Chains A and B, each alone.
Chain A
Amino acid sequence: MTMTPVTVARSDRATDVLAIEDLGVRLGGRDILADVRFTIGAGEFVGLIGSNGAGKTTLLRVILGLAAPTTGTVSICGERRAARKGLVGYVPQKIQLDPDMPVRARDLVGLGLDGHKFGLPLPSRGRRQQVDEMLRAVGAARFADERVGNLSGGEQQRVMIAHALISSPRLLLLDEPLANLDISSAQEIIALLARVSSQRGVSVLISAHEMNPLLPVMDRIVYLAGGRAASGTTTEVVRSEVLSGLYGHHVDVIRVHGRVLVVAGTGDGLDIPAEAGAVGGAVGEAMAADHPPSLGEQVGHGRSLGHGSPDDGQPGDQA
């Protein structure tokens, strides 16, 4: 069952913005991540794909230094602990921003510049210009003086990206930034990220449970499943052999009209084809194991009946 993660041979290690070697995270006696290794070069746009619970957030937190790995190393630009030095920008998973909070978009972006400093902030023209420029760069100038809690999901993401980018990091980590966005907002955010990545030479590692929206912009993919990772180009990684090895059972990869579908399971009628990343079949299997067969069939035919996960549309939840 062991498999060697696919890694693209990289000639110049010195240019690696992120290098992860033999990384393992064990929590409560359970392997969350094992044997993870990949690198990200300067200016690369990398998608971190996996179903919910695959360990994406854990991996990002380890890279940030918010969680400690059990084994292995993480180095950023050759340094072991780099988050404090402003080398890494971070956009966390869905933050609850309260409309009652008197924090405007420009305040939050400004905190990206000097939020870690002590003492009262002194207003300065240079700081204001820097914040204005950043807000324009992410298309957030229009709502710069709004309370962040009053902004839409897409607008909040722009502000969060500006907050993360203003300290000129080498690596930008985004945890499921598309999760709560409608399709057009998601497309806008992806286009924005691709643009700032190439303009500023920032490497991007973006986690998502669905890879299709990212296909046009991704240089490489890191695919997480079963606590292990495979990395390479999309064509190298998203193949039946590779993903079957990660999941530990047969997985089909179907390419149709420029989209990729990953279908897991044995084809016993319960499989729900899911978009890439989420193992649809696993839903059927988990359900079939948990419920009597009749119920399982019901589940298979109509998840809208309420047997699915509470937040439907994220089939990997049950896996």
Chain B
Amino acid sequence: MTSLLHLLFAPGFLASPPVRLALLTGGVAAFVSGAVGAFTVLRGQSYAGHALADLSVTGGSGSYLIGISPLLGFAGTGVLAAGVMDMIGIRRPRGRDLATGIVRGAGLGLAALFLFWDTTHTNTSGVAVTILFGSMFTISPAVIPLVVGCGLVALAIVAVLYRPLLLSSVSADLAAARGIPVRAVGLLCLIAIALAVSLSALTIGTILSTALLVGPAATALRITDRPGRATVTAALLGVAVTWLGIVLAYDSFTWPPRHDGWPVSFFVVALILVGYLLAQLVGRRRPVRRVES
């Protein structure tokens, strides 16, 4: 039994400060991304979430230039981009892709410039790799309050707007007929998405943060029929794949080819894919229609 545990948790796993920090920040980021992600997928805004992730590259790379926490950069540009996307017209079905595409393109252009400056400034490509692919084991403890703060704001938005968000996801007309301010609700949801993506960008990187937003949510939406359960399931799935990813990354220091560890982001994204495929199999086997007992 002990040897089995040792096989999974390499000796010293929980005693290592970077591991503890990764478990904490990774867990918070995954929980928030999963819960917010459920609404992202429900509202059909995965592309917007993806664009917000791309745009956090801009904020992250800029933050290194001016010497602030990358999380501030991620979140700042994300929230700003959410506002611009709302202004351009994310509410209209066609405007949605248009708004997202325009803002995304502009942001990535800036990101290219900032990353270039980052690289020439520091004479290494380390910053670029950290921004793009995450740095769960090298996160500074000073960032914890900010991580928790951003997470709480995003969760609060989803919790407070839970029913209006759900109704306007089913039909904006139905929601508007009930006097729900559909546009304001949509903008706040976009801000929650931006915050969730920022947290994930810090842990598994800007490139992969959409995976944590969309993956667990898409899986949860397959395996449960209720909106509340789907939200909680997505959050817990996110935490599970992140923690398991950290365990595997820690173990991988003994793995070939070079015995210096595989990136944790790889494990997280791989586990998300495995989870989704499993849910697909389970979902397919279930009868489409059930008769009430």
Contact = CB atoms under 8 A, between A and B. Distances in A.
A56 interface: no
B277 interface: no
B163 A102 contact: no
A121 B221 contact: no
A148 B289 CA distance: 11
Nearest to B41: A100
A116 interface: yes
A83 B290 CA distance: 36
Contacts of B276: none
B161 A118 contact: yes
Interface residues of A, number: 35
A210 to B, nearest CB: 23
A96 to B, nearest CB: 9
Contacts of B169: 101
Interface in A77-117: 83-84, 88, 90, 92, 95, 97, 100-104, 107-108, 111, 114-117
Nearest to B167: A115
A114 B163 contact: yes
A120 B162 contact: yes
Contacts of B230: 102
Nearest to A104: B225
Interface residues of B, number: 35
Given A84-B179, A115-B178, A119-B160, A102 B225 contact: yes
A141 B293 CA distance: 11
A78 B228 CA distance: 39
Contacts of B170: 95, 97, 101, 103, 108, 111, 148
B164 interface: yes
A145 B173 contact: no
Contact of A121 (B160, B162, B175, B290): B162
Given A88-B177, A145-B225, A150-B288, 7 more contacts: A92-B171, A92-B177, A95-B174, A102-B227, A115-B174, A116-B167, A118-B161
Interface of A: 64, 66, 83-84, 88, 90, 92, 95, 97, 100-104, 107-108, 111, 114-121, 141-148, 150, 163
20 contacts: A64-B176, A64-B177, A66-B176, A92-B171, A97-B170, A100-B221, A102-B220, A102-B224, A102-B225, A102-B230, A107-B227, A108-B170, A111-B166, A111-B170, A116-B178, A118-B160, A118-B164, A119-B159, A145-B292, A146-B289
